[in-house]
Amino acid sequence: MPVIQIKTRDGHSLQAYTAGSASAARGLVVLQEIFGVNAHMRQVCDTFAAQGYAVVCPALFDRVQRDVELGYEPEDIVRGRALRERIALADTLADIEAAAGALPVGAQLGVVGYCWGGTLAWQAICQTKRFAAASCWYGAGIADALNQVPHGPVQMHFGETDRSIPPSAIQAIRQAQPSVDIYVYPQAGHGFGCEARADYEPASAALAQQRTLAFFSKHLVRTGA
């Protein structure tokens, strides 16, 4: 398994799954759900790598417990949420910046995240200057941080029937961030992009992925291009 160790500015060492070419002109930090860097997240990374990206997916739970790979049963959700609550946002952002530093020098960098990672992708584009663009998939915490200022273009993907992200929250984000491209997928629930979840909706997942790839192709421009 292509796993590396990376070190943060505060001296923390964490694992990260990597995929793609070390000489790629575009790089992505992929941010996990609350289920760890499990088989689904590794598949997401491999899919982006197949499109020519260098990819790093940091194990954000390493701050409190290493080698976490959860499934999608109710008890996994409870465990994942408990682990997430034990990690300060500032520490997680340090991990994300370290992951960005592990991507090829000179590559144009984007960040994409799912579930918890969708919220973190928003935080990363707003609170750091490491990324040229961000794609945020069903980030339930974005509405709690909707007045931040992103340092690059952002797109967001939400499911119309997501019980954790009501239409009122999406509308509030639209009003606060009129420059953000926001897509809502009919009949799609939370986690619609994950083939292992009950809410998986393949048509919506495929369209969101197509939009994400087009977005990064547009905004992650080669240096000197």
Give the model confidence (pLDDT) of 33-68 as tens digits.
999 999 999 999 999 999 999 999 999 999 999 999
pLDDT (0 to 100) of residue 222: 66
Q: Cα–Cα distance between 197 and 199 in angstroms, integer?
A: 5
pLDDT (0 to 100) of residue 135: 98
Helix (H) or strand (E) holding 176: helix 167-176
How many of the other CB atoms lie within 10 Å of CB of 69? 15
Catalytic residue positions?
115, 162, 190
Q: Calculate what percentage of the chain has a pLDDT beyond 90.
A: 94
Binned at pLDDT 50, 70 and 90, residue 225 comes out as very low
Is the CB of residue 110 less than 8 Å from the CB of residue 144? no
Q: Cα–Cα distance between 134 and 215 in angstroms, integer?
A: 9
Angle value at C-alpha 180, between 151 and 140, nearest 5 degrees: 95
pTM of this prediction? 0.95
pLDDT (0 to 100) of residue 45: 97
Give 127-149 pLDDT, tens digit per residue: 999 999 999 999 999 999 999 99
pLDDT (0 to 100) of residue 224: 46
Beta bridge partners of 93: none
Q: What is the mean pLDDT of residues 93-101?
A: 97
Mean pLDDT of the chain: 95
Q: What is the mean pLDDT of residues 179-200?
A: 95
Q: Cα–Cα distance between 69 and 163 in angstroms, integer?
A: 24
| Structural domains of the chain sorted by starting position, each given as residue range(s) with its CATH number in brackets | 3-219 (3.40.50.1820)
Q: Cα–Cα distance between 194 and 135 in angstroms, integer?
A: 16
Is the CB of residue 31 less than 8 Å from the CB of residue 99? no
Instruction: State the DSSP code for 7.
Output: E
Is the CB of residue 20 less than 8 Å from the CB of residue 55? yes
